């Protein structure tokens, strides 16, 4: 099984097969408009501008599971992201990434990766405290801990890397360029 086996919902509710992205390098991100990590949209768009012609696609999946930080409709979220951050990469319908309502794509991503730690960023300690409150065993599973968790998928549709939201975007960019 790989990423191409999944179908997701577009903003308009239509089905999109991820096999449409076959041969591309993908960066799959669960996002939120009201999160402290929301400014990462700037760096994600910069990465997309620089690498889209080389075969990168960033797939944006809004998610409201973490502190109600993406409460708007799909259209409101899209308008915010394009207006405030100028994003041009694909943005999909709002989803759940954890729990019984998690979409199959995210079940596969979380079943096949493990938590890599929050590192030493300023947000590491408060994020660890929030993650522990939501899931006492958070260090030992692949569940999404917060908004802006990223999965890098290689051109064959396999998971190449998993980045927590605290990962420096310079490291994400380096790994994307390596995979491209």
Active site residues: 35
Residue keyed to tokens 């100028």: 86
CA atoms within 13 A on the CB side of 167: 25
What's the first-to-final CA gap in the chain, in angstroms?
Answer: 21
> Do the strands 7-9 and 15-17 form a parallel or antiparallel pair, or are they unpaired?
antiparallel
Number of Cβ within 10 Å of residue 170's Cβ equals: 9
> Do the strands 56-62 and 25-31 form a parallel or antiparallel pair, or are they unpaired?
parallel
């Amino acid at each position: 099984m790989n990423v191409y086996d999944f179908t997701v919902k577009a903003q308009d509710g239509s089905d999109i097969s991820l096999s449409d992205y076959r041969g591309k390098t993908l960066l799959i991100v669960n996002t939120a408009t009201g999160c402290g990590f929301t400014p990462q949209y700037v760096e994600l768009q910069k990465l997309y501008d620089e690498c889209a012609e080389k075969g990168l696609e960033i797939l944006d999946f809004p998610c409201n599971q973490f502190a109600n930080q993406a409460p708007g409709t799909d259209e409101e979220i899209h308008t915010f992201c394009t207006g405030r951050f100028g994003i041009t990469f694909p943005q999909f319908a709002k989803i759940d990434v954890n729990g019984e309502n998690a979409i199959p794509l995210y079940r596969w991503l979380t079943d096949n990766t493990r938590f890599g730690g929050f590192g030493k960023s300023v947000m590491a300690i408060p994020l660890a405290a929030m993650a522990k409150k939501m899931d006492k065993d958070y260090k030992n599973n692949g569940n999404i801990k917060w908004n802006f968790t990223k999965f890098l998928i290689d051109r064959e549709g396999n998971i190449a890397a998993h980045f927590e939201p605290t990962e420096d975007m310079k490291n994400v960019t380096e790994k994307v360029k390596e995979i491209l």
